[in-house]
């Protein structure tokens, strides 16, 4: 009986700090109607844009007052996951959509995921700039990425924007081709984001 009591007490002692951390952890909420992620690229005949129709973002912070702290350069964010369903990408053309989904291996890998691993942040005039480091999972491959981002206040919310350049071939992806190979998409694309977050 005494051994059982000691084991239970030890387990509670170990779990309480973790439970307390979770209880105090807060989350910024994405405002989907005012947020956007899009991919810009070029082909042998024209430029194109593919826009994410759905964005899922989890932004965990250490305090309920994270946005003002971020704007003065405080590292108030503790975790970020941004997910985009590949099938919800819209390139403005049904044929292009089909080819892009095939190139991104959407059947086997239906989600594009960015996960933050570390970041730097500094206050600038009325805003904050930073470098986000993380992993980008795309088409079944996972690669490290580094993104320069800007955070600006928008009322009581925070708008975060930035972009990063990637090569599709680095993720073992074959750029789309159309019209029996007469139209070829260049392997270099730019991923842009403009996200509005609320405490």
Number of domains in the chain: 1
* Phi, psi of 84, rounded to the nearest 5 degrees: -130, 120
For residue 68, tell me if it sits in a domain: yes
Q: Is the residue at 147 inside a domain?
A: yes
Q: Which of 35-44, 94-103, 172-181 has the highest mean pLDDT?
A: 35-44
Whether residue 19 lies inside any domain: the answer is no
Q: What is the CATH number of the domain that holds 189?
A: 2.40.128.110
User: Does residue 12 belong to any structural domain of this protein?
Assistant: no
Q: Which residues contact 6 (CB under 8 A, 6 or more apart)?
A: none
Q: Is 104 helix (H, G, I), strand (E, B) or coil?
A: coil
Q: pLDDT tens digits, residue range 115-149?
A: 999 999 998 888 999 999 999 999 999 999 999 99
The verdict on residue 14 lying in a domain is no
d(CA 53, CA 36): 8
Q: How far apart are CA 40 and CA 164, in angstroms?
A: 11
pLDDT tens string 147-184: 999 999 999 999 999 999 999 999 999 998 876 667 78
Q: Considering the domain boundaries, does residue 166 fall inside one? A: yes
Residue 153 lies in a domain: yes
Shortest CA distance to 112 belongs to which of 85, 146, 81?
Answer: 85
Residue 182 lies in a domain: yes
Angle at 191 between CA 139 and CA 88, to 5 degrees: 60
Domain that holds residue 76: 25-198
């Amino acid at each position: 009986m005494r051994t059982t009591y000691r084991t239970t007490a030890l387990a509670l002692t170990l779990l309480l700090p973790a439970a307390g951390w979770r209880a105090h952890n807060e989350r910024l909420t994405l405002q989907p109607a005012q947020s956007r992620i899009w991919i810009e690229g070029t082909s042998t005949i024209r430029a194109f844009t593919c826009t994410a129709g759905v964005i899922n973002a989890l932004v965990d912070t250490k305090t309920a007052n994270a946005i003002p702290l971020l704007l003065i350069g405080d590292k108030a964010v503790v975790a970020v996951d941004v997910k985009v369903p590949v099938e919800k990408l819209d390139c403005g053309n049904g044929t292009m959509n089909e080819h892009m989904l095939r190139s991104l291996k959407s059947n086997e890998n239906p989600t594009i995921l960015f996960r933050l691993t570390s970041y730097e942040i500094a206050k600038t005039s009325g805003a904050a700039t930073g470098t986000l480091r993380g992993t980008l999972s795309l088409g079944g491959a996972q690669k490290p990425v580094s993104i320069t981002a800007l955070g600006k206040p928008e009322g009581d919310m925070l708008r975060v924007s930035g972009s990063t350049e990637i090569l599709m071939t680095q993720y073992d992806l074959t750029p789309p081709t159309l019209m029996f190979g007469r139209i070829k998409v260049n392997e270099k694309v730019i991923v842009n984001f403009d996200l509005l977050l609320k405490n």
